Structure 1
Amino acid sequence: MAWVYLILAGALEVVGVTGMNKVAKNKNLQAYMILLIGFIFSFSFLGLAMKTLPAGTAYAVWTGIGTVGGTVVGMFFYGEAKDWRRLLFIGMILVAVIGLKTTT
C-alpha cells in the first residue's frame, strides 16, 4: 500500500506544481487552492508512504514523479519545448525510479 500512497503523492505534487504555474500567471483564489490542495495532500501521502518505505527511496521516487510529471505537463499544456534531450533525461529519471522500486 505504501507504493500506492507514494504514487498518489507524486501525482498530487504535479497538481501542486501546476497550481504554482497558475499562480505565477494569474493570482486568483482558484490557482492558490489548486496549489495548496495539491501540496497538502502530496505531503500527506508522502508521509504515509514513509511509514513503510525507506525515507531516501520514498523521497527520490516522489521527486522523480513530480519532476517528470511537471515537465510533461509543461510540454503538453504550457508550450514548453519537446526536445529529444528533454525526453532522454525524462527517460533516465524513469529508469532510476524503477530501479529504486525494484531494489527496495
Structure 2
Amino acid sequence: MAWMFLVAAGVFEMAGVAMINKWHLERNWPAFLLMLLGFGLSFIFLSLAMQTLPMGTAYAVWTGIGASGGAILGMLFYNEARDWKRILFIAMVLGSAVGLKMVS
C-alpha cells in the first residue's frame, strides 16, 4: 500500500508542477488553488508512504516521479524539447526509481 501512496504522491507532485507553469502563464486563482491542492496532496501521500518505506527511498522515488513527470508534461503540453537525449535521461531517472523498488 505504501508504494501506491508513493505513486499517488508523485502524480500529485506532477500536477502541482504543471499548475506552477499554468499559474505563471495566466496568474489566476483557480491555477493557484490547484497548485496548492496538488502539492498539499503530494505531501500527504508522501507522509503516508514514509510510515512504511525508508525516507531515502521514498524521497528519491517521489522526486524522480515528479521531475520526470514534469518534464514529460512539459514536452506534451508546453512544446518543450523532445530530443532523444532528454528522453534517455528521463528513462534513466524512472529506471532508478524502479531499481529502488526492486531492492526495497
Q: TM-score, normalised by structure 2?
A: 0.98
- For residues 55 and 81 of structure 2, what CA distance do their matches in structure 1 show? 33
Structure 2 runs not aligned, ≥5 long: none
User: Which stretches of structure 1, 4 residues or longer, exceed 3 Å deviation after superposition?
Assistant: none
Q: How many residues align?
A: 104
Matched ranges for 1:25-104 at <5 A: 25-104=25-104
Distance 2:22 2:90 in 1: 23
Across the aligned residues of Structure 1 and Structure 2, the Cα RMSD in angstroms comes to 0.5
In the alignment, is residue 12 of structure 1 matched against residue 12 of structure 2?
A: yes
**Cα shift readout 1:30-78 (whole Å, capped 9, x = no counterpart):** 1101100000000000000000000000000000000111000000000
Superposition deviation, residue 24 in structure 1: 0.8
- Aligned partner of residue 82 in structure 1, secondary structure: coil
2: CA distance, partners of 1:9 / 1:62: 7
TM-score by length of 1: 0.98
Partners of 1:72 and 1:29 in 2: CA distance:
25
SS in 2 for 1:81: coil
Gaps of 5+ in 1: none
